[in-house]
Structure 1
Amino acid sequence: MTGFENVPLPMTNVPAVPDPSSEWWTPQPIIDAARLAMGSIDLDPASCAGANKTVLASMIYTAQMDGLMRRWSGRVWCNPPFGEMSAWATTAMNLYEEGEIESLCLLGPWSTAAWAQRAWRVADGICLINGERFKWGGPAAAASDRSVPWGYGMICCIFGANPGYFDAVGAVR
């Protein structure tokens, strides 16, 4: 029992990426919670220089570097392009379970997809986030008439770190 059995889940017949650009940079309070939970952030494998002004990861991989094909290690923050969420989430969880990375905070859309169901089963904590509470950055946020990257809210899946630090940004189990 997860404690969220009666929470309504979003419809699954919505487009994977509702925006032409998937660069929605994570708001500061969510990054602050991740940094506290993990101690620091060693790697953001799906980033850019602009987003890293908030994330402050020791190392980033940009879209041109193809973070899915690179080595991951240490404490990892990952807010991947939602159109490729399954590949990024699967890679992140596999690397965590294989011991390649020490801890992981994975931000994604609230979903019933296989990656999300796996995360519900194995994460140390899940934070349900109402994205409208926060200011999102990046090219997609600037060009959008919406205030959030996904119409149903967000989840942050926490592996190998203290999920209690996310209490300030959402409902944690």
Structure 2
Amino acid sequence: MTRMVKNKNTDYWGTPCEIKTLIKNVLGEINIDPCAEDLLTKNIWANQYFTVKTDGLTKDWVGKIYMNPPYSNPAPWVEKFFFEYEKGNMKEGIGLLPASTDTRWFGEVWKRSRAICFWYGRIKFLDILDGYEEKYPAAKGSVFVYCGSDEQKFNQIFCPFGEIISRNKIIMPINHSQKWPRRKGNEITSAKLTEKDVRAIRRCLYTPSKELADYYKVSVTTIDRVKARKSWKHVK
């Protein structure tokens, strides 16, 4: 099941086929979709699913899980996702969530996930009321959250499609090469840190600055200033 907020009347949208493929490539099979919607049963590809009527929040999630909760209220689903993994019921799981990094529930994502993929661009979901045509982009960015024992596989498969943070460490995409220009007076020069580097560093607030500095080959002071969202003109 996939959901997103497009208007007040619906919170339910279908998963694009290419994303299904990525998830299947990581997990192999999906044992349970815990927050499905009756209208979406045509698009369900898990062995078992719970709908609003059966209330997935009250069930045990056993095996391999794909979760995409209502974007309007993901908090209880996020807590359940990590609870089931830490309890040992969920062996491996992927959650598709809004990239609401300023919310309280996203703090749990930072602390308890094994890996996170910040998807490039906006996902175009399927319209379940119009023949499952790909029409509506998400109202905001999306993240894929992984829990399980094979985060390396998750990182390798999702790396071409987004910024990966694995256990608060950055996984560099292959095409991570575009330089971020900076202005010095009227002169444009090239910085060692790219725009993507800066965004990635700011998502790694809990990673030691020394470790990030060694990785990017810049000073600890530079990393601290980037984390603090100060001017990036100090980057040389």
Instruction: Decide which of 126, 129, 140 is 1:137's aligned counterpart.
Output: 126
**Secondary structure of 1:136 counterpart:** strand
- Amino acid of the structure 2 residue aligned with 1:172: I
Matches of residues 43-82 of structure 1 in structure 2 within 5 Å? 43-48=32-37, 51=40, 53-82=42-71
C-alpha distance in structure 2 between counterparts of 1:65 and 1:49, whole Å: 10
Change in 2 beyond 3 A, CA 1:141/1:121: farther
Q: Is the 8 A contact 1:17 1:82 kept in 2?
A: yes
Q: Percent identity?
A: 24
Instruction: Decide which of 130, 135, 146 is 1:158's aligned counterpart.
Output: 146
Instruction: Decide which of 105, 115, 130 is 1:115's aligned counterpart.
Output: 105
Instruction: Decide which of 162, 175, 198 is 1:170's aligned counterpart.
Output: 162
- Amino acid of the structure 2 residue aligned with 1:100: N
C-alpha distance in structure 2 between counterparts of 1:128 and 1:171, whole Å: 5
Q: Deviations over 1:46-65 (max 9, x none)?
A: 11466455551111111221
Instruction: Compute the displacement of 1:17 (Å).
Output: 4.7
Change in 2 beyond 3 A, CA 1:84/1:148: same
Mark the runs of 5 or more structure 1 residues left unpaired by the alignment.
1-15
Matched pairs, number: 153
- Amino acid of the structure 2 residue aligned with 1:129: W
The structure, 1 or 2, with the larger RCO (C-alpha pairs under 8 Å, 6+ apart) is 1
**Secondary structure of 1:88 counterpart:** helix
Q: Is the 8 A contact 2:14 2:40 kept in 1?
A: yes
Instruction: Compute the displacement of 1:95 (Å).
Output: 0.9
Q: Structure 1-normalised TM-score?
A: 0.76
1:95 paired to 2:87 = no
Instruction: Decide which of 94, 108, 115 is 1:105's aligned counterpart.
Output: 94
Question: Over aligned residues, Cα RMSD in angstroms?
Answer: 2.5
Q: Structure 2-normalised TM-score?
A: 0.57
Instruction: Decide which of 74, 81, 85 is 1:85's aligned counterpart.
Output: 74
1:40 paired to 2:33 = no
More strand by share: 2
